[in-house]
Each structure stands twice: as C-alpha cells, then as structure tokens.
Structure 1
Amino acid sequence: MNEAAILQKRHAIRKYSKEVIDQDTIRKLRQMIEACNKESGLHIRMYLQEPKAFQSFFTHFGRFSNVENYIALIGKPGEKLEENCGYYGEKIVCQAIALGLDTCWVAGSFQRKHIPIHDDEQLCCVIAIGYGKESGKPHKSKPIEELCVAETKMPSWFLDGMRCVQIAPTAMNKQQFQFTLHQDHCVSVKALSGKYSKIDLGIVKYHFEAGAGQAAWKWKD
C-alpha cells in the first residue's frame, strides 16, 4: 500500500485502550524516528507507557483519555523547526498507521513540563499513538479550488496531490494554507495565518508529495 492510500486511513483518535504496543511495532517506529532525525536534524523522541503528560484538566477538556504513548516533536529553535516537525511528524504518522496504530496530533492539550528537553531545544507538539477505542471519521475539507491557485491547467498529478492534501490534519481543521501551481509545473505553498500554521505547512507538504508521487514536478521557493 502506498503512502497516499495509508494516509486515507488516518483519523484523529483521542480515546485509547490500555493495550500495550507490541515490541516489533515499537522497533519499526524507532527505526523510522531515527531515520527522520538523521535526515532532518530534529530530536524527535518516543515515550511509552508514560501518562503524566496527559493527566490534567486540559487533556480532559480536549477529550483525550488513556493517552500513555506519544511522540514528542523536538528540535533546535530555527526558522524551519515547526515546518520540519510537521513534515517529519506526519511521515512518522504514516508509518504508525501502516503498523496498525491510531494517532492524533496534539499542540496544546498536554502538560509540557512532563516532557524534558535540553536548554537548546524546543518542543513543538506531540503525536498521541496507540490502539483507539473508536474508529474515527473523516473531517470536512474545503474544495480543491479554495486551497490552491493554478497558473495553468491542473494535471492529474497535481490533482492527486491536492486530494491527499484535503485529508491532511491541520489546527482546528482550518486549512490555513495556499498551494500554487506555476506555469513551469513547479509547486509552491504558503501558510496564511494561525498559531500552528507552520506545523500545518510541513504536514500538507508531506501529503502533497505522497499524493503527487514521482511525476515531473518540483517545489518552488
């Protein structure tokens, strides 16, 4: 199953069972995290059977329950930190889904004090992982025409990329970004507004790549 098909199965799950993640799944996730850290320079870490970060009023307000496993997206402060956390975080999400896990991006409804970081690091957000008590459901999305501008006729690979972008998780599901298809078939995307828009930018870039595949296109700054 390719990445785009795997991402179609992704739904935000907030309620988890007590089932322990098996060791083979943990090993494969660690391998993916190590590969992402090596490629990106991030310091992503996985926490298992550690419930403290999700034991507060805020997590109950966010309707989370039994979150004991999560991935912390951490790196050194910099202009691209949040975007990279979004991109590589969603890459790890794709692997987690392929391994049979459920996931949920969490930006505010957790206690940061229970996730230790070094003085030269910044914690952007976390991704809850585990076996959900619920199956989840697709979120509503804006039509493709509201998410992009095309300077030329949209080829099939661009439409495939945008369809995958439509299902990407974003803060409050606001989809505050805009893609542009340029006449030379290069693609650019910009964040519009919002507190977590740079994280969202990385997530949607990963989704576009997964959907568009290896067609003759490239990113344009």
Structure 2
Amino acid sequence: MNLLEAMEKRHSVRVYTDKKITSAIKDELLSCIDECNQEGDLNIQLISDEPKAFDSMMAHYGKFKNVKNYIALIGKKGPDLDEKCGYYGEKIVLKAQQLGLNTCWVAMTYKKIKTAFKIGTNEKLVLVIAIGYGTNQGVEHRIKSTDQVVDTMQNQPEWFINGVKAALLAPTAMNQQKFVFSRHDNQVAIKKGTGFYTKVDLGIVKYHFEIGAGKENFNWIKK
C-alpha cells in the first residue's frame, strides 16, 4: 500500500479490539516516530497498554472504546508547534495505515495521564492519536470539491490538482476543511481558516498536498 492508497483507505476509528500491536509492527512505528522527532525537532511518544487516558466521561462522550494505545504529540512551545505536530503526526498516521493499524486524531476527549509520557522543559502536549486494531475501518465522510478549496481552477497544472485532491483526503477538525490553496508558477500558498486546531489541520493538509503533488514540483510560499 503506497501513501496515496493509505490516504484513501484511512478513516477515523474510535472503537478498538483487544488485539495487541506486535513487536515487529511497534518497531516500525517507533522508527517512523524517531525519524519525525529528528526531522521536526519534536518529542512524539508512543504509549502502549495504557487504558486510563480513554477511560473517562469525556472519552465516552467522544464515543471512544477500548483505546489502550496512543501517540502523544509533544514538542517545544512555539508558533509553529501545532503545524509541525499536524504534519508529522499525519506522517505517522499514514505509516500506521500501511502497517494495518487504525487511528483517530483526538483533541480534547481524553484524560492526560502524566506518568504515561514525559514532557520536557518548555514543551507542550498538543494532542494525541488513538492507535490500534479497530473493530471496523471507519466511515468515509463527504469532502469538498477541488474548486471549493482553490482560489482559481484555471490553467492549473496536473501536479497542483493532484496535490489538492490529496489534501481533500486529509482529516481536519470537525471535517470542516477550512483551507484554500493558491499558486504562482511553482510557488504554492495555503490559507487556513479560523477555529480550533486549524494550525494542526494546516500541517496535516500540507503533508497530504506534498504527497499528491510531489515535493519536487513546487515550493511553499512562507507567510
């Protein structure tokens, strides 16, 4: 399964089986996490066999059941932390999908178990990702059309359209897809909307766009 296939097949899953993540699968996940931590200067951690975070009223309200494994997205406080957690968190999510695992981004419907992970000086836990073997493969949600998230569709190259299509498969808070792309030659900009976790969404969407468009075809316009 390549990354584009993983994007298409991956949907949020909130209910998990008791099947344990094998050592071999866990090692591949940890390798991906280590790579993300080094590249993004983050402190992302995999927490295994820890059911307390999702054994609360908030978790039940969020319809989570039997979550015993999750990924804690942690990094140094700064203006770009949320975006980095979104970008590298989604890289891990798609790797998990390739490994046959299911996931769900979780913002508030969990309880912080301080003994489960380590937060360093000047670091912050942004959110977590539930991970494991789901009782199902999740449900596909309605997504916007390409023309709804691009400033203009006229004379757009194939790589750009492919990037936008991949971006539309990205999970976003409340599935709102609050972003708009624009392009000048090989320079691409993305404007985020307002609301909770839109900076995290921005990172997730950027990662998807890069996979679909091909990083060799464009540069991001930094704002």
Q: Taking structure 1 as the reference length, what is the TM-score of the superposition?
A: 0.95
In the alignment of these two chains, the number of paired residues is: 220
Q: Residue by residue, what CA displacement relative to the aligned partner does 1:103-130 show, whole Å, maximum 9, x if unpaired?
A: 0000110012445423421000001100
Q: Residue by residue, what CA displacement relative to the aligned partner does 1:151-197 show, whole Å, maximum 9, x if unpaired?
A: 85111111111111111100000111111122x23111121101100
1:48 corresponds in structure 2 to 48
Distance 2:85 2:216 in 1: 25
Distance 1:65 1:207 in 2: 28
Distance 2:76 2:162 in 1: 34
Distance 1:70 1:177 in 2: 27
% identity of equivalent residues:
46
- Are 1:156 and 2:168 an aligned pair? no
1:139 corresponds in structure 2 to 141
Counterpart AA for 1:86? G
Secondary structure at the aligned position of 2:14 is classed as coil
**Would the aligned equivalents of 1:151 and 1:180 in 2 still touch at CA under 8 Å?**
no
Change (3 A) 1:120 1:214: closer
Post-superposition, which runs of at least 4 consecutive aligned residues in structure 1 deviate over 6 A? none
1:202 corresponds in structure 2 to 203
Secondary structure at the aligned position of 1:103 is classed as strand
Secondary structure at the aligned position of 1:125 is classed as strand
**Would the aligned equivalents of 1:139 and 1:167 in 2 still touch at CA under 8 Å?**
no
1:39 corresponds in structure 2 to 39
- Using the TM superposition, name which of 112-121 and 97-106 deviates more: 112-121
Q: Residue by residue, what CA displacement relative to the aligned partner does 1:31-78 show, whole Å, maximum 9, x if unpaired?
A: 000010001100000000001111100000000000000000000100
1:186 corresponds in structure 2 to 187
Match of 2:174 among 172, 175, 180: 172
Secondary structure at the aligned position of 2:9 is classed as coil
Distance 1:151 1:166 in 2: 15
1:218 corresponds in structure 2 to 219
**Cα deviation, residue 2, structure 1:** 2.6
Q: Taking structure 2 as the reference length, what is the TM-score of the superposition?
A: 0.95
Secondary structure at the aligned position of 1:158 is classed as helix
**Cα deviation, residue 28, structure 1:** 0.4
**Would the aligned equivalents of 2:173 and 2:198 in 1 still touch at CA under 8 Å?**
yes
Counterpart AA for 2:163? G
Change (3 A) 1:214 1:43: closer
Secondary structure at the aligned position of 1:118 is classed as coil
Gaps of 5+ in 2: none
**Cα deviation, residue 215, structure 1:** 5.0
Distance 2:194 2:175 in 1: 13
CA RMSD of aligned residues (A): 1.4
Gaps of 5+ in 1: none
